[in-house]
A and B are shown apart, each in its own frame.
Chain A
Amino acid sequence: MSVTHQPGKPTLLMAEDEEDTASLLRFLLERSGYQVVHAPDGKQAQQLIDTMPAPSLVLLDIMLPHISGLQLLPYIRKKPEWKQVPIIMLTADSSEHDIEQALASGANDYMVKPFNPRELSARLSRFLKPAV
């Protein structure tokens, strides 16, 4: 889980417990030129939030083991250097209540799984300049 920053590449923190989805997201994001730091559960995501420099964007699954994405959201927003980091929530269904709560707690956007890879790129480009 150590993070080595590659200069010139924007870093993304991805908190996603589902192995296949994480692998697919990592592939799509790395192919677009981003450096992906992956946390497979809420605890590891929390550790990364405490130790790594603020990334360019956070992809945060709502349903995470140990600490949920909805709990991590305000934790991220309390950190001064992470305050402005765009956060996109990943949700397994279109549960309106979870989405409402996420947006109210400081998420910038959300994406419902299953997702369209093009939609992912479009949502990322709203917050990030194209990677080198």
Chain B
Amino acid sequence: MADTALSTSIDNIAWLATLILHALILVLLSSTLIIRHLRLATDRRRKAMVGVWRPILAESLIEAPASLPSIHPRNRVLFLYLWNHLQESIKGESSEKLCAIIRRTGMDAVVRQYLAKGAMRQQLLAIVTLGHLKDASVWTQLAELAHADNAFLSIEAARALVRIDAPRAIPALVPLIAQRADWSPLKVLAILQDAGGELVARALGEAAQHAPPLIAARLIRFLASIRSHRALPLVRPLLGRDPLHEDVLASCLALFGQCSDPRDLPVVRQYTAHPTWFIRLQAATALGKMGVEEDAAILIGLLNDPHWWVRYRAAEALSMLPTMTDDKLSLLVQTLPPGEERRVLTPFVAKRIEAALAASPSIPAA
């Protein structure tokens, strides 16, 4: 009898478990279907929104549309994505025409709200939008956000400040540019390019003169990346310092190479014989950009350098010398004695030939 009772209990448990399992499967299936339905509805809503607004925004680049549809609160973020994307695809007076649209729809007030108390995504969108709108009324909030720990928020706030008023923003941003190692260098370069060459050259060049060596080197590397010729008179005196920090020297050589001012050529040549390998490397790279025919001899000498990277960059520089032709380089590699010098230069000869072929590639017919 005890056995029968036990068997009934097991049966009941088994039935209950089966029921629970089926119920769970049903719940999972229903939720999958609901999620899918919601997703499709969202996609349809997005497509409808883009279908309505994309032509209106494009038309507004030419002339102001007579009337504008209202924007449903749940479409606001999507509208802002669309608007910002278009804003970043164009330049010139059309940008101001797009700004007029955002003011007519009242979305400028919405983005200010997003900036003050939105979620992270809304706040980021607000920062970018307000930058395009050149809205100086939010300057203080953006200046505070430029100091935020979050690198995404802070660098976008910095960019917005530059878009609003570059001469006011750059002096305030230089200390941040010098110290924020978490800021993407590419984004910093985009900010500096937005700000304009003269302003950046003066601000970064002067800051480099008074900064500790590692920060000065970082600032000069940014100047090199934007090929700031205007910064050269501010940077050249740094080479006269005693002691001269090697990182500062290396970044100065990078700047000289990028700007290729013939007045800096004697200095660059002089540092190809420096005892520190990465100074010789930077000097060789710079020489490849600004050197003349006679500098080939210096670079050929560096093909025997004890450090591999110097040999490699010297070979690359030789192949890039403004006076170097394909024929001259092919002849040069044949005259080098078999060994490391020839080995390190050969790939660059091949690269030049490959580049020449790339100009007339044969792609198969479709």
The chain A residues found within 8 Å of chain B, CB to CB, are 20-21, 23-24, 27-28, 31, 43, 46-47, 50, 67, 70-72, 74-75, 101, 104-105, 113-119
Contact = CB atoms under 8 A, between A and B. Distances in A.
B209 interface: no
A47 B365 CA distance: 8
Contact of A114 (B55, B88, B366): B88
Contact of B86 (A24, A113, A118): A24
B359 A47 contact: no
A59 to B, nearest CB: 14
A72 B364 CA distance: 11
B90 A115 contact: yes
Nearest to B361: A71
Contact of A115 (B54, B85, B91, B363): B91
A24 B359 contact: no
A46 B82 CA distance: 30
Given A24-B58, A118-B93, 8 more contacts: A24-B61, A46-B366, A47-B366, A114-B91, A115-B90, A116-B90, A117-B62, A117-B94
30 contacts: A20-B85, A20-B89, A21-B89, A23-B54, A24-B58, A24-B61, A24-B86, A27-B55, A27-B58, A28-B61, A28-B62, A31-B62, A46-B363, A50-B365, A50-B366, A67-B363, A71-B363, A74-B360, A101-B358, A114-B89, A114-B91, A115-B89, A115-B91, A116-B90, A116-B92, A116-B93, A116-B94, A117-B90, A117-B92, A117-B94
B89 A101 contact: no
Nearest to A74: B360
B59 interface: yes
A101 B359 CA distance: 7
Contacts of A101: 358-359
B14 to A, nearest CB: 55
Nearest to A102: B359
Interface string B344-365: 0000000000000011110101
A119 B89 CA distance: 13
A116 B54 CA distance: 17
Interface in B39-81: 54-55, 58-59, 61-62
Contacts of A113: 89
Contacts of B88: 114
A24 B363 contact: no
A47 B364 CA distance: 11
Contacts of A23: 54, 58
A115 B86 CA distance: 11
A105 B360 contact: yes
Contact of A74 (B54, B55, B361, B366): B361
Residue among A20, A47, A75 with most chain B CB within 10 A: A20
Contacts of B91: 114-116
9 pairs of A and B residues whose beta carbons are closest in the complex: A116-B92, A27-B58, A114-B91, A47-B366, A46-B366, A74-B360, A20-B85, A50-B366, A105-B359
A104 B61 CA distance: 33
B361 A104 contact: no
Nearest to A118: B92
Given A27-B55, A117-B62, A104 B359 contact: yes
A117 B359 contact: no
Contacts of B90: 24, 114-117
Contacts of A105: 359-360
Given A114-B89, A114-B90, A118-B92, A43 B359 contact: no
Nearest to B92: A116
Contacts of A50: 365-366
